[in-house]
Structure 1
């Protein structure tokens, strides 16, 4: 069985309307078999409200997986070398965990995990850093925080053992500038072809996507291209390899 893992990033009261639109857009393709990446306090200006907590609980009760997506999604670190290049070119000041040391990364992870788990009444599905960017210390902190899954742009892995449970690039889109829109449209078109043989395909959408009709059309085409991949849960990746193989027989 080939799996399709869908996710909505930046789930926050700040983007509640956009999240609703994305849910409606993805429903014909995956129903509610998807993941949400929850930002506890987006840019330190949009904390989770009681009303939004009730929505998170309802979505989780419906079977949507809830990941912790940083704490603020805001990069407040000073960077040098390769990290500075990543911070400048791979995200617009939102790689929150790219420059954090172990102590600070662990503290933010634990706070986010506690908030999401209290809101939903169940264990967090895992942790995914904003912009998929981690410092080495942040990667080490994942296991200490007790997360069972983590993801970057190239893979999904178990922080407790380091075992990689899925490989391959995430198909995603960039909306913040016209050149980035064009490059993400080209990349998604290419990946729709290249990833057809993959056992696990990941597709991630963001609130900004709803403001660009061309991106929405590309999202629809991408999901349609993987209609032979079955919408699945990230938790399915936690099964031992032999068990996963037997489930495809």
Structure 2
């Protein structure tokens, strides 16, 4: 665990660092607490976002867990942005499109919930998730981010109707109401589900630390599974330290007011 850092100086760089914890819900509470402590240490405070899953895999319903609801509201009151992150997170669609079948098989382990949904189903889940999360935190959600960052045509159509402020995928952040791209560049993330994927994510994170410094906006995303491997935690800490030195920990909401070039 990294040592508690001193408060960040006031004259922070103009470049932005956007960090987030994915898959937040009652079932991941212990891991989220650990990740939140790491991010808060390295970013000098609650300068990150959380992506909330209303009912992860149909097994951890937020609506039934009053204690976790209170914890979410406390985090939100402290300034942590709250995104709606699907509903179940689990992909239960039958994919007819070949490209969607490939993404579902190779880009995620059955987690791309919004990859194969029709627009009506996608919109229902978006609106229900938005209503639940906003009721819990007592304020507007920061936006919507599809599980595994995968959006099918139905999800993209629904997103334009759901009245979210922001959306994000692997390569960009955009205004969900206008489709204006607000930031570009690959998100730095890690994988824990296999030795090969872990090694690949460690390699990419090392490459990113060396190559992504010129970007105006750098994005770092962590997941509950990351806490299961020391190598991932070490890489996350090194990546946070590297970019916190050159990029100001920021809020996603800033992008709508003053979008940057990269």
Superposition RMSD in Å: 1.0
Q: How far apart in 2 are the matches of 1:186 and 1:52?
A: 35
What does residue 21 of structure 2 align with?
8
Query: What does residue 206 of structure 1 align with?
Result: 223
**Deviation per CA, 1:55-109, whole angstroms, max 9, x where unpaired?**
0110000000000000000100011301001000011101000000100000000
- The answer to whether the 8 Å contact 2:15/2:217 transfers is yes
State yes or no: 1:74 paired with 2:87: no
Determine the structure 1 residue equivalent to 2:252.
234
Say how many residue pairs are matched: 243
> What are the ranges of 5 or more consecutive residues in structure 1 without an aligned counterpart?
none
Stretches of 4+ aligned residues off by more than 2 angstroms = none
Shift of 1:188: 0.7
1:240 to partner: Cα distance: 4.3
Q: Could you tell me how far apart the structure 2 residues matched to 1:114 and 1:152 are?
A: 22
Q: State the alpha-carbon separation in 2 of the partners of residues 136 and 158 from structure 1.
A: 17
1:40 — aligned with what? 54
Counterpart selection for 1:25 from 22, 32, 38: 38
Residue 186 of structure 2 corresponds to residue 173 of structure 1: no
Asked if residue 160 in structure 1 is aligned to residue 177 in structure 2, the reply is: yes
Equivalent residue runs for 1:57-68 within 5 Å: 57-68=73-84
Provide Cα deviations, 1:99-143, integer angstroms capped at 9, x if missing partner: 001000000000000000000000010000000000012012112
Determine the C-alpha separation between the residues in 2 that align with 1:47 and 1:71.
10
Pick from 186, 202, 224 the counterpart of residue 203 of structure 2. Answer: 186
Gaps of 5+ in 2: 1-13
Rounded Cα–Cα distance in structure 1 between residues aligned with 2:40 and 2:235? 16
Moved more, 221-230 or 124-133: 221-230
Match of 1:86 in 2: 103
Give the aligned partner of residue 9 of structure 2.
none
Please give the TM-score of this superposition, normalised by the length of structure 2.
0.91
Q: Which digits, 9 at most, give the CA deviation of each residue in 1:41-67, with x for residues without a partner?
A: 000110011111100110000000000
